[in-house]
Amino acid sequence: MPIAQNPLSVEVTLPRHDTALLTVQGYLDIDTATEFQHHLANQLHHGRRHFLLDLSAVPFMDSSGMNIILRVYQEARELPGSVHIISPAPAVRRILDLTGVSITVPVSESVEEALERVDRPQEPATEGED
């Protein structure tokens, strides 16, 4: 079995007791998505409700990565909790925008901005608002 060409690195820190910051580096694709999912599942298991996903060092993400983000988003909402994407690389941001994921999962430019959103959940925009 070939070794992954682009290994994934996930660093988990806890800015708060119920919040996990996952700093991801490398390609988030079908070859690495399971590892990313395990990190998220471990944090859910340990009672984290809010997930900050720093994707600034992810040059590429395919549908496997997006599906995991959407799955943890659904699980976190049931807690209730939240998921926030932080500073996605341009190619990843484009994918998030084109697929509509960035409409569902908030995108922040910094950890501080994401933590502010955790503290003040924003109401979803209703149609017709400008």
Domain presence at residue 124: no
What pLDDT, in 10s, does the model give residues 32-86? 999 999 999 999 999 999 999 999 999 999 999 999 999 999 999 998 999 999 9
How far apart, in whole angstroms, are the C-alpha atoms of residue 90 and residue 50? 24
Residue 35 domain boundaries: 9-119
**Positions of E strands within the chain:** 9-16, 19-25, 50-57, 82-86, 107-108
Domain presence at residue 4: no
What pLDDT, in 10s, does the model give residues 79-105? 899 999 999 999 999 999 999 999 999
Domain presence at residue 112: yes
How far apart, in whole angstroms, are the C-alpha atoms of residue 50 and residue 119? 10
Q: What is the CATH number of the domain that holds 42?
A: 3.30.750.24
Tell me the pLDDT band of 130, cut-offs 50, 70 and 90.
very low
